[in-house]
Amino acid sequence: MQYITEPKSTREIVFANKMSQQFITSILNRNFPFPQTGKTALCFYGTYGTGKTTYAKLFCEDYEKAFTGKNDKPLVDIVQCDSTENITQIIKQCESRSSLVSFNQSNLHYFVFDEVDNLTKKAQRLLKLFLNRINVVCVLTTNYVYEVDNGLKDRCHLINFNAASSKDYLKRIKDIIRLNGLAMPTEKQLLERIDVAEGSWRSIISNVIYLCNKSNSTS
């Protein structure tokens, strides 16, 4: 059986803390200027499986909606970062796309650079130069923020995507359980499964679905 677990918007994201959530909300409500000169990117940092890459594309979609007031999904370029890749060619391709008229209603170009810590320091510095423009919205993700070049980080707003408090996951987990028509365990049982997952959504979902199915088979 294929379960429905992917978030559809920012409202369904569990952030590491209130500060990160409030900052993203301020951007999407257009109460905070973004992108602006010198700061045209967000950097989602945190441990494995906490939803950084999943939310990177969702953020771009929600930002476009907030910017235009329309529900059209924007074109988002996903760049898988790898230290063995030709970063010069990648940057040239991104520069070429950003120099053209955008297909998006906002006239912005969206780029997601996934796992930027895989890039060499030289490659990261080249990426830093690409961020010096105001017609792009970029989201970077990393599991190891301390391995990201300081100059590159300085062009980003850093958003914490480490594990949240176990109780913060409860509402989203219960919504997923109801959406999939599964048996609802007790909060104590859910918290036990969430605790051992250490913030990894892959583990949380797997643990909870197993628990729900086990509860259903014994009821």
* pLDDT band, very low/low/confident/very high, at 47 (cuts 50, 70, 90): very high
pLDDT at 85 over 80: no
pLDDT at 40 over 90: no
pLDDT at 103 over 90: no
Question: What is each CA distance from 153 to 6, 13, 83, 136, 182, in whole angstroms?
Answer: 28, 23, 18, 16, 42
Are 99 and 63 in contact by the 8 Å Cβ rule? The answer is: no
Residue 126 has a pLDDT of: 87
Q: What is the CATH number of the domain that holds 14?
A: 3.40.50.300
Region of residue 114 (left: phi > 0; alpha: psi -120 to 50; beta: else): beta
* pLDDT band, very low/low/confident/very high, at 135 (cuts 50, 70, 90): confident
pLDDT > 70 fraction of the chain, expressed in percent and rounded: 96
Chain centroid to CA 29: 18
* pLDDT band, very low/low/confident/very high, at 86 (cuts 50, 70, 90): confident
Residue 92 has a pLDDT of: 87
One domain, residues 73 and 26: yes
Q: Is residue 4 part of a domain?
A: no
- The pTM of this model reads 0.92
Closest CA to 79 of 68, 70, 87, 67: 87
- Average pLDDT, rounded, for the chain: 91
Last residue of a domain, one of 117, 132, 160: 160
Length of the chain: 219
pLDDT at 178 over 90: yes
Last residue of a domain, one of 126, 142, 160: 160
Query: Which residue shows structure tokens 């970077």?
Result: 140
pLDDT at 149 over 80: yes
Q: What is the pLDDT of residues 156-175, one digit of tens each?
A: 999 999 999 999 999 999 99
Give the residue-averaged pLDDT of 129-150.
92
Which is higher by pLDDT, 215 or 181? 181
Number of domains in the chain: 2
pLDDT at 97 over 80: yes
Closest CA to 56 of 45, 66, 70, 72: 45
Give the residue-averaged pLDDT of 90-106.
87
Residue 38 has a pLDDT of: 78
Q: Which domain holds residue 173?
A: 166-218
One domain, residues 149 and 42: yes
Which is higher by pLDDT, 98 or 26? 26
Q: Is residue 134 part of a domain?
A: yes
Per DSSP (E only), the strands in 24-75 are 41-45
Rg (CA), the chain: 19
One domain, residues 90 and 109: yes
Are 210 and 39 in contact by the 8 Å Cβ rule? The answer is: no
DSSP string, 125-144: HHHHHHT--SSEEEEEEES-
Give the residue-averaged pLDDT of 21-46.
92
